[in-house]
């Protein structure tokens, strides 16, 4: 697979990464551990070198899964993880916590769970308004100087936060939702990242599975599936948003590809420093996603997609109001 650099940092990764969250968290019951390890290792065999996890996924069990799966490939892969939440005895999130002492504690725990000597990319999971971002960036800088972290990242942060953090410790990558049906980063975030030389790592590049065409208005979600509470995934909104899938299906037919591959190829075509991290628990989907890196959309095809999208309005918010308040700060 082709490689890409995340901004000006020099961090080189595969053009597509693998988001591992759904293997343990958010999209229904956790997958079988042996099967998930097999999927992760199959990704390495297919050229994927960039893997995304977080202490919050599970919590903790996803980092352990990724650490075990990638143990044979130390030095060959890049693992990104995140800090910024606190948890109760039952494992449920009890709020945000990006205090310097907590960041240091999370780093030590993540190193052990991931079975690594240094965290390749350490993101603040969500902006914590109770802690100045300069303190967060400075703490990660200390961890970098200590050899425990290699690169600093932010997740779902707004432009002012990005600039303030970057002034203290250069930000290697911003992780943010970005896809054909969530394009708000184009307004302010992408121009700022280009100016500052920061890479973008889009999560949910396939619209949490919707853009693959595998979900429709009749799909039933497990009660533990995050999508069951998302406004955009109500049956009415899924029916209305089917237009997006129809658009992708038409282009896919012309290109002898799949809707998912077109959606990923579109993201890859936006900027050379964008590295999507589609997640999956299935080997067949992994293979499909990896092949998206081989799909090239011509300028005329990109214009055709742009023209079609300009006539479509997405229905439903991407998050509940409570979750949206944590983003873009």
List per-residue pLDDT tens for the chain, 329 residues long: 999 999 999 999 999 999 999 999 999 899 999 999 999 999 999 999 999 999 999 999 999 999 999 999 999 999 999 999 999 988 899 999 999 999 999 999 999 999 999 999 999 999 999 999 999 999 999 999 999 999 999 999 999 999 999 999 999 999 999 999 999 999 999 999 999 999 999 999 999 999 999 999 999 999 899 999 999 999 999 999 999 999 999 999 999 999 999 999 999 999 999 999 999 999 999 999 999 999 999 999 999 999 999 999 999 999 988 889 888 87
At 76, which CATH number? 3.20.20.100
Q: Do the domain assignments include residue 49?
A: yes
By three-state DSSP, how is residue 173 classified?
strand
Q: Do the domain assignments include residue 240?
A: no
**At residue 88, what are phi and psi to the nearest 5 degrees?**
-85, 175
Q: What is the CA radius of gyration of the chain?
A: 19
Cβ of 322: how many Cβ atoms within 10 Å? Answer: 7
Q: Do the domain assignments include residue 75?
A: yes
Q: Do the domain assignments include residue 241?
A: no
User: How far is Cα 39 from Cα 58, in angstroms, rounded to an integer?
Assistant: 18
Asked if residue 59 has a cis previous peptide bond (ω within 30° of 0), the answer is: yes
Q: How far is CA 105 from the centre of its chain?
A: 23
Structural domains of the chain, count: 1
Q: How far is CA 69 from the centre of its chain?
A: 19
319 is catalytic: no
Catalytic residue among 27, 57, 123, 178: 57
Nearest by Cα to 66 from 104, 105, 120: 120
Q: Do the domain assignments include residue 324?
A: no
Write down the pTM of the prediction: 0.97
DSSP 86-152: EE-TTS-EEEE---HHHHHHHHHHHHHHHT-SSEEEEEESS--TTS-HHHHHHHHHHHHHTTSEEEE
Question: What stretches of the chain show up as alpha helix (H) in DSSP?
Answer: 33-45, 61-70, 100-114, 133-145, 159-168, 189-196, 235-240, 242-255, 259-270, 283-291, 299-309, 321-324
Q: Which two tokens stand for residue 147?
A: 């050899």
User: What range defines the domain where residue 82 resides?
Assistant: 3-209+269-295
Q: Do the domain assignments include residue 220?
A: no
């Amino acid at each position: 697979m082709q490689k890409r650099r995340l901004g000006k940092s020099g961090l080189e990764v595969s053009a597509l990464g693998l988001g591992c969250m759904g293997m343990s968290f958010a999209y229904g019951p956790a997958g079988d551990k042996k099967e998930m390890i097999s999927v992760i290792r199959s990704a390495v065999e297919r050229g994927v070198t960039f893997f995304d996890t977080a202490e919050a996924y599970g919590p903790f069990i996803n980092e352990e899964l990724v650490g075990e799966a990638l143990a044979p490939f130390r030095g060959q892969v890049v693992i990104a993880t995140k800090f910024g939440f606190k948890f109760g005895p039952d494992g449920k999130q009890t709020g945000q916590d990006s205090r310097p002492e907590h960041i240091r504690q999370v780093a030590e725990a993540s190193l052990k769970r991931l079975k690594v000597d240094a965290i390749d990319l350490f993101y603040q999971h969500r902006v914590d308004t109770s802690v100045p971002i300069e303190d967060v960036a400075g703490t990660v800088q200390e961890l970098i100087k200590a050899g425990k972290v290699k690169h600093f990242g932010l997740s779902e942060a707004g432009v002012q936060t990005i600039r303030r953090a970057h002034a203290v410790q250069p930000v290697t990558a911003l992780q943010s939702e970005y896809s054909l049906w969530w394009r708000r980063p184009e307004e302010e975030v992408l121009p700022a990242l280009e100016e500052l030389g920061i890479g973008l790592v889009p999560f949910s590049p396939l619209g949490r599975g919707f853009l693959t065409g595998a979900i429709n208005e009749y799909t039933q979600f497990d009660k533990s599936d995050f999508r069951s509470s998302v406004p955009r995934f109500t049956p009415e909104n899924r029916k209305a948003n089917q237009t997006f899938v129809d658009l992708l299906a038409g282009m896919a037919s012309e290109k002898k590809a799949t809707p998912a591959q077109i959606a990923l190829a579109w993201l890859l075509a936006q900027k050379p420093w964008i590295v999507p991290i589609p997640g999956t628990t299935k080997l067949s989907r992994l293979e499909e996603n990896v092949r998206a890196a081989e799909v090239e959309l011509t300028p005329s095809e990109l214009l055709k997609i742009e023209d079609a999208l300009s006539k479509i309005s997405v229905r439903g918010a991407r998050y509940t109001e409570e979750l949206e308040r944590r983003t873009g700060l």
